[in-house]
Amino acid sequence: MADRSDEDVKFKHEHAVDDPEAVAAMVDMTIRNSTERRKLGFLSCGTGNPIDDCWRCDRNWMRHRRRLADCAIGFGRNAVGGRDGRYYVVTDPSDDDPVNPRPGTLRHAVIQDRPLWIVFKRDMVITLKQELIMNSFKTIDGRGANVHIANGACLTIQFVTNIIIHGLHIHDCKPTGNAMVRSSPSHYGWRTRADGDGISIFGSSHIWIDHNSLSSCSDGLIDAIMGSTAITISNNYFSHHNEVMLLGHSDSYSRDKVMQITKRIVNPDDHKWKAWNWRSEGDLLLNGAYFTPSGRGAAANYARASSLAAKSSSLVATLTAEAGVLHCRKGVQC
């Protein structure tokens, strides 16, 4: 987008915290406290997941949707999304015109210049003709409806701030582009080719991606690049994909050095990984996969990290039972 400049990217770097280890310690403490409260029976519906325990015990969650914005942890904990705005109800699943979107559509909602908490009137499958380019201070909240963004373009979070994405099925995203697309009520512009990511985060800050189910996209499921920071990616379910996450597009890109994301996955370069000290415990290997143990054991500088013991693969189903889109109904605990 021509009207969103390098000055915007520089602004986003101001949201990187000076002491990331303090944030990591805060996350660990919050999880431990939530787990202990569950063991002691302080919450009758407590799960030990501090994000979920913050809001899921409320059977009137539908009336109190915005409470979700106070529940994030980690680097994206200050993402307010559309908390301070009005509700916008999506009633129309169509995406006929990416330049002049119809009121009631998801595209019309996300491009507005004001904060909005976006919800859905009913179950729907939304097939986007072009990238869904979001404006700042938006929450897309799929709770209470079965919402799929599928079989077309998907979400682009570019040079914006304060975005919450919750409760969406995002899958089978396709490459699109070379077309005009609106990004705000006053601006539309030419978009070059999009790779077909599920969620693309580009030069943005204060982003929270929570309880979504993502699968089978043409490129990555979630990409965060070009100096994006202050991001939390939590409780999502990823499946049927080889390139789940890209966090930083190049080791040589200086702005990505301040990228701060609570969930980190390292994808080693082919020419470097053989020299790494690999360890593995309790794996479940399927479809011909195998692992050859090697390495020298944990070095002293990893002693802190080792305080979180690895769990057996037999616990995968239990640990991921509440990942992805939740099945929430009105008047019932979610």
Predicted local distance difference test score (pLDDT) of residue 2: 41
**Could you tell me if residue 11 is inside a domain?**
yes
Amino acid at position 252, single letter: S
Task: State the Cα torsion 144-146-150-153 to the nearest 10°.
Answer: -20
Quote the number of domains for the chain: 1
Q: What is the DSSP letter of 302?
A: G
Burial 288-306 (b: 16+ CB within 10 A, else e): eeeeeeeeeeeeeeeeeee
**Could you tell me if residue 329 is inside a domain?**
no
Predicted local distance difference test score (pLDDT) of residue 240: 87
**Could you tell me if residue 325 is inside a domain?**
no
Instruction: Quick: pLDDT tens for 113-154.
Output: 999 999 999 999 999 999 999 999 999 999 999 999 999 999
Instruction: Quick: pLDDT tens for 14-25.
Output: 777 777 788 878
Question: What is the pLDDT confidence band of residue 251, given thresholds at 50, 70 and 90?
Answer: low
Q: Are 158 and 200 in contact (CB under 8 A)?
A: yes
- Domain of residue 142, CATH code: 2.160.20.10
- Mean pLDDT across 218-223: 93
For the chain, what's the residue count? 334
The whole domain housing 184 covers: 6-266+275-319
Task: State the Cα torsion 149-153-159-164 to the nearest 10°.
Answer: 10
**Could you tell me if residue 24 is inside a domain?**
yes
